[in-house]
Amino acid sequence: MRIICVDDYDEMSKKAANIVASQIILKPDSILGLATGATPLGMYKYLVKTYKDGHIDFEQVKTFNLDEYYGLDKENKQSYYYYMHENFFKFINISKESVNIPNGMAKDIYQESLEYERKIRQCGGIDLQVLGIGRNGHIGFNEPDIKFEALTHMVNLDEQTINDNSRFFDSMEDVPTKAISMGIKTIMHARKILLLASGKEKADAIYGAIYGKITPKLPASVLQLHPDVMFIVDKEAASKLNLEKINEVYL
């Protein structure tokens, strides 16, 4: 595990974009696992700039998103399909066929989940998985107490997650209570993992993910078992860490 502590959100975003860009330069046909929410928005902005400056090419890249709200169609402005296209995909040269996002309107979620896993395997697995982290320690939409062996599946969102996501919706009644998410096992199969965190509200989750007992009660704690994982955290998110006790810290 490597921890990079930076001053603020903007620096976190730049470093994350540089790592993703380097992955693409070294392996132009990379399979990327992508995240949504507020945290990676800055990373996507810098990746778009890097592309427009001519430093990276997405023509051979394939992507798999972590999750999607259940019951929201692609045109819904709060869907993650809409988020990805409006904030990233429409600005780069990636084909529609290379973009994979769970179908939140699937009639058979079990079959949708199996098909998503099949597509990932067919591509040879994810080379680099980008993650955020919830205040309750969730990664993807894998809430506390979800089994580590879970693959892509339907999840019931915790009250904490619903409350956190309500800021993006007009009312609490509009906030989805279910989602389709890659499972912990799916995430852990990625060759490399990059987790981003910004803000004081993430400090407890980051502390638990790095120092805490490995337990489904804090899903991100399982990352301690991954052979190639990097955390990029700003000072506020890292405020409860004792950086001197971390083996490999890049300041």
Residue 56: give its domain's CATH number. Answer: 3.40.50.1360
**Within a domain: 228:** no
Task: Supply the range of the domain harboring residue 23.
Answer: 10-196
Give dist(CA 235, CA 212) in Å, integer.
19
**Within a domain: 5:** no
The count of domains in the chain is: 1
Give dist(CA 78, CA 196) in Å, integer.
21
Please compute the mean of the pLDDT values over residues 18-35 and round it to a whole number: 98
Taking only the tens place, the pLDDT of each residue in 70-94 is 999 898 898 999 999 999 999 999 9
The single residue listed with the structure tokens 């994979």 is: 100
pLDDT of residue 240: 94
**Within a domain: 169:** yes
Please count the helices (runs of H) and the strands (runs of E) in the chain: 7, 11
Residues whose CB is less than 8 angstroms from the CB of residue 154 and which lie 6 or more positions away in sequence, other chains included: 70, 109, 113, 178, 179, 180
Indicate the angle between helix axes 41-52 and 80-87, nearest 10 degrees: 40
Find, among 151, 69, 65, the residue nearest to 105 by Cα: 69
Taking only the tens place, the pLDDT of each residue in 147-159 is 898 999 998 887 8
**Within a domain: 100:** yes
**Within a domain: 203:** no
**Within a domain: 153:** yes
Active site positions, annotated: 67, 136, 138, 143
Please compute the mean of the pLDDT values over residues 192-205 and round it to a whole number: 97
Q: What is the mean pLDDT of the chain?
A: 93
**Within a domain: 180:** yes
Residues whose CB is less than 8 angstroms from the CB of residue 244 and which lie 6 or more positions away in sequence, other chains included: none
Taking only the tens place, the pLDDT of each residue in 117-142 is 999 999 999 999 999 999 999 999 89
**Within a domain: 240:** no
